[in-house]
Amino acid sequence: MNTATTHSPMAMDHRPGFFARAESWLDERGKGAWIAAMVVSFIIFWPIGLALLAYMIWSKRMFNSSCKSMSHRRDRHMGKSSGNSAFDAYRAETLRRLEEEQDNFEAFLKRLRDAKDKAEFDQFMDDRAKMTEDDNTNTGPATA
């Protein structure tokens, strides 16, 4: 006697489960809905809130919208041609010039930091020499 069936019980039911429906419902409403659900679940029963928070972090739902919009914005502006070759050349030249200015500014900041460090070190050495000189004058030569 064989009780195996050719279709599994899950295969017959094409409707998504409760958790899949809840997840898609929350996804449609955005990050605010996920956060609200997490807060409510913390209020009702804290382990569920903790599990929901862990799921949101694990599935990257906490951070995905801002990262998507930033990468989309960067892709749209950086790599693709606008269709106008004069504008593309102007944009490329401007970006090159800005990168060069940024490199020059960073080099300036490094020189400024180095000069400040040298001035602080020189001040330290002067103070140390002065303290050593004062100690020598205060103790003076021993007279018997």
- pLDDT > 90 in the chain, percent: 34
10 Å CB burial of residue 26 (0-12, 13-18, 19+) is: buried
d(CA 103, CA 19): 51
Higher pLDDT, 26 or 5: 26
Q: Which of 1-5, 15-19, 48-52, 118-122 has the highest mean pLDDT?
A: 118-122
Average confidence (pLDDT) over 13-42: 82
Torsion from C-alpha of 105, 109, 115, 120, nearest 10 degrees: 170
Q: Contacts by 97-102 with C-beta closer than 8 Å and gap 24+?
A: none
pTM: 0.37
